[in-house]
């Protein structure tokens, strides 16, 4: 990696972790597992500025760091969600028919699918009743994250050279 890419990668990991930390500190009156996922703003920006390999690396490093900070019990859910989410986002971005908000919504929904699959495997099939709530919250969060990410990518395009 070039020095600029390494520096940008490090900053993206740091910002993604900070977003996760802040989100962890703010108590929301939402059911367990439902959150905005603000760190995904950084993941989307990494996908659009650096490419899928670097975005995946930022995502995985952030998940592991969050595991150290907030407890490893969430890591299997986050890893499954993060991997499935990245796969969906990469495929839709390459399809060229989707904007960043559409890519974000697909990533968010697939993240929830990945988490639900892990929950079903670890906790039993009874957890599937929770999926409609996760699906709805994932669509809303995906739209919000996509809109913010789109603004950032538009504003920074041309200013980030790696």
Angstrom distance (rounded) from CA 51 to CA 89:
11
Query: Measured between alpha carbons, how far apart are the two ends of the chain, in Å?
Result: 10
* CATH class, 3-156 region: mainly alpha
What is the predicted pLDDT for the residue at 92? 97
What proportions of the chain, in percent to the nearest 5, are helix, strand and coil? Answer: 80, 0, 20
Q: What is the pTM of this model?
A: 0.91
Decide if pLDDT at 1 tops 70. Answer: no
Q: What mean pLDDT is reported for the chain?
A: 91
Helix, coil or strand: residue 4: helix
Could you read off the pLDDT of 28-55 as tens digits, one per residue? 776 666 788 999 999 999 999 999 999 9
Q: What does the DSSP 8-state code read for residue 29?
A: S
DSSP characters for 119-159? HHHHH-GGGGGGHHHHHHHHHHHHHHHHHHHHHHHHHHTTT
Under the banding of pLDDT at 50, 70 and 90, the label for residue 62 is very high
Q: Where are the domains of the chain?
A: 3-156
């Amino acid at each position: 990696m070039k020095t600029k890419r390494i520096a940008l990668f490090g900053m993206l990991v740091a910002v993604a972790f900070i977003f996760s930390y802040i989100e962890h500190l703010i108590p929301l009156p939402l059911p367990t597992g439902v959150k905005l996922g603000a760190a995904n703003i950084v993941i989307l920006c990494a996908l659009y500025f650096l490419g899928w390999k670097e975005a995946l690396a930022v995502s995985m490093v952030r998940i592991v760091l969050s595991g150290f900070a907030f407890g490893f019990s969430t890591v299997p859910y986050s890893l499954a969600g993060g991997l499935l989410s990245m796969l969906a986002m990469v495929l839709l971005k390459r399809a060229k028919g989707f904007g960043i908000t559409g890519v974000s919504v697909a990533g968010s929904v697939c993240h929830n699918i990945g988490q639900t699959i892990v929950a079903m495997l670890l906790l039993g099939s009874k957890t599937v009743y929770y999926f409609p709530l996760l699906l709805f919250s994932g669509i809303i969060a995906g739209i919000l994250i996509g809109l913010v990410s789109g603004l950032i990518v538009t504003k920074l395009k041309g200013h980030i050279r790696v």
